[in-house]
Amino acid sequence: MKKNIAVVLGSFHKNEADEMLDEVKKFSQQHDLNIVEIKWVPGSMEKPLALKRLLLNSEIDGAVALGIIESGETKHGLVMATSVVDAIINLQLELMKPIGVGILGPEILPNQIPTRVRPYAVAAVAAVKEMLSE
């Protein structure tokens, strides 16, 4: 039976996020997942709220969060990533629905991004698929 999922993406790295979305769509078509919502948000800090809003819908079984938290001149990205991932974990436990995290970083360097975009997206949606089959 097909499971319904949502995808939340950060638009700050739009080209890379589009690549990630393509991978999630391909995987979903091949593995009985139905993408019922795609939500673009400005960046990673907005992802937990968007995820919660989507996952409160009883017809959505799980979600995937995609994006990039790039290295900067300060530790802002590290702090942000810690907060975002913590919020996502708490959402999973609160709502009892899986969320695959395909957020590259924190502190990923620009030259490290291209080779990781597609594999991280596939790993995130594969994790959701596995958790939904339990």
Q: d(Cα 57, Cα 4) in Å, to the nearest integer?
A: 11
* Known catalytic membership, residue 76: yes
Sign of CA dihedral 87, 92, 97, 98: positive
Catalytic pick from 2, 18, 76, 83?
Answer: 76
Q: Which residues, in sequence order, are CB contacts of 104 under 8 Å at separation 6+?
A: 16, 67, 68, 69, 112, 113, 116, 117, 120
Element (H, E) at 35: strand 33-41
- Supply the residues annotated as catalytic: 76
